Structure 1
Amino acid sequence: MAAPRSIIIDIGKQRDEENAKEDSATKKKPIGTKFDGRFPLSHWESAVAIGVLLFFSIALFCVYVTMPAAEFGKIKLPRSISDLRILKDNLAAYANDYQAQFILGYCSTYIFMQTFMIPGTIFMSLLAGALFGVIKGLVLVVFNATTGASCCYFLSKIIGRPLVNWLWPEKLRFFQAEIAKRREKLLNYMLFLRITPTLPNTFINVASPIVDIPFHVFVLATLVGLIPASYITVRAGLALGDLKSVKDLYDFKTLAVLFLIGSVSIFPIILKRKRTE
């Protein structure tokens, strides 16, 4: 009877090994795992990304073709302060004559750039201040930035995990660890990140759903936390002639103010930690 029993044990071990191999093959890669150099998205994920991009592109195109005629050859996305001054001069009369249509086109462009992480939204924020003033410009920038960040959040929720693991593995591990330590006061911590330049906003947008930050916390922290930096940028748009480069926006004094405001948001966390010690 010993032989059959040993055979049964061997068969059981083989099945356990096979199951373990299947589990390891189907399991998702942990957060922060480096990829082997291959493009991280599967065929299905790539199809979703292309489909979403096409949808947004067609919607943006439809907005532009319904706008009143303009000399679009003079209009391009600015890449420097000098480009922004030229764009502002070309758009000033147009934005005043067709304000509603222009705002629709401006918002669509800003949200598109924010959703797909296209650099240049800081120039769009400066343009808002130059064309609309501080109050209206600030409302437009905060609304567009929050809407675009929310679209980026949901897009990343669908296809973002392998892409973020591929691009920022170490930063993602750090972010995951920090979020895990601050679950009880997550809104305060997210406000601190949004107000201060501790982590890039683009990274926060795509990494938040991956580290399980609830959407209501994400959107509230974005809406409130972007106000101070947006105000600084929009206000600077009123004096484009005095601005030499984007770096002039955030000097030491400005950064110190942002960190001071951000520290207020995490003060309850520090106070609670001292009480528990």
Structure 2
Amino acid sequence: MKRWLDYIEFILIAPLGTLIKSLEYIWLMLLRLVGLLAIFTTSTLMLIIAWTLRPEAQPAAFFSAAQNRPNSYFPKTVSDLNLLVNYFTKYRENHSIYLSLLFSLAYLYKQSFAIPGSFAMNILAGALFGCWKALLLVCLLTTVGASCCYMLSLWFAKPVVEYFFDEQLQRLRYEFTENRYRRFTFLLCARLFPFTPQWLLNICLPLVNIPLSSFALSVFIGLIPYNLLCVQAGSVLSDLEDFSAVFSFTTTVRLTGLTIMIFLFSKIMKKSFCTTSSKYC
């Protein structure tokens, strides 16, 4: 009789338990996705409302003219960007604070949901606010926006990220295990390297147990050179012919060289640490 009960448990109950666990996982994943969709929808509506309720600008004739209105508020080419700068430069004369608010909301929106286009937004900031003010603003917004992306990925998008980016997650886990004694330096190098997909780091790093404090600090410090290049290009936008001119071969080599130097320095420091404290290595 006991053998029959064990057989029934093996045939019926065990698969049923697995099925229930699978359904619970699917239900939890759906709830998270619904939460993410709700946050995305709410954020989009807030951005639309902030733009719709903006104060009227003067002179009205300039802003109502079709040739002066930008086709898109997320520029894709230098000509789009120039039109946007002309438009908002006039708007800034009477509503500089509201313009800063609009820019900040749009920037945080793009960063939080890993939407491409921060490069053009950085150049726009340089053109509108000047090099150094724009650099401070952009560095702060990048850090806050990336941190929001970190939390959204950790709390809501984890199943989706694990499904679509499993290979990248495994690679990151391996790299951080190998570089556990210089984890922050490794993070910094990843941010400095010009070919790193920053959006992918923002959504994957929370799932490999990187603390938010280390994540945010690496974003703020590591992206300063990149942000500085962009806002400098924005401050001389009239001389810019194409976005690719910002990252010339020389600029790319310099950023890559800086990344290598920091990484080599961290390796030397690790060897020195291991020599004096071998029990920790």
TM-score of Structure 1 vs Structure 2, range by shorter chain: 0.7 to 0.9
- Aligned partner of 1:11 in structure 2 is 6
Decide whether aligned partners of structure 1 residues 177 and 16 sit closer, same or farther in structure 2, where only a CA change above 3 A counts. Answer: farther
- Alpha-carbon offset, residue 191 of structure 1: 0.8
Amino acid at match of 1:11: D
TM-score w.r.t. length of structure 1: 0.83
Corresponding residue SS for 2:156: helix
TM superposition shift of 1:198: 4.4
Deviations 1:122-169 (A, max 9, x none): 111101111111101101111111111111110000122232234333
Selected match of 1:94 from 82, 91, 96:
91
- Larger helix fraction of residues: 2
Secondary structure of 1:118 counterpart: coil
Letter in 2 for 1:231: L
Deviation at 1:90, TM superposition (A): 1.4
Three-state SS of the structure 1 residue aligned to 2:241 is: coil
Task: Please say if residues 160 and 210 of structure 1, whose CA atoms lie closer than 8 Å, have aligned partners that are also in contact.
Answer: no
Match of 2:213 among 206, 211, 216: 216
Runs of 5+ in structure 2 lacking a partner? Answer: 58-62, 276-281
Question: Relative to structure 1, is the Cα distance of residues 167 and 129 closer, same or farther in structure 2, using a 3 angstrom cutoff?
Answer: same
What is the CA–CA distance in structure 2 between the aligned matches of 1:179 and 1:253, rounded to whole Å? Answer: 30
Partner of 1:48: 35
How do residues 33-44 of structure 1 correspond to structure 2 at under 5 angstroms?
42-44=29-31
Q: Which residue of 2 aligns with 1:36?
A: none
Q: Distance in 1 between matches of 2:41 and 2:270?
A: 48
Specify the alignment match of 1:137 in structure 2: 134
Q: In 2, distance between residues paired with 1:26 and 1:199?
A: 37
Which one of the candidate residues 176, 197, 214 is aligned to 2:194?
Answer: 197
Amino acid in the other structure paired with 1:240: L
Greater CA drift, 213-222 or 94-103: 94-103
Aligned with 1:208: secondary structure? helix
Q: 1:126 aligns with which of 112, 123, 128?
A: 123
- Percent of residue pairs bearing the same amino acid type: 27
Higher RCO (Cα < 8 Å, 6 or more apart): 1
Provide Cα deviations, 1:161-216, integer angstroms capped at 9, x if missing partner.
Answer: 23223433322221221122222321111111111124211001000111111100
Contact 2:29 2:159 in 1 (8 A): no
How many Å separate the matches in 2 of 1:242 and 1:175?
40
Q: 2:113 aligns with which of 76, 92, 116?
A: 116
Q: 1:266 aligns with which of 249, 260, 263?
A: 263
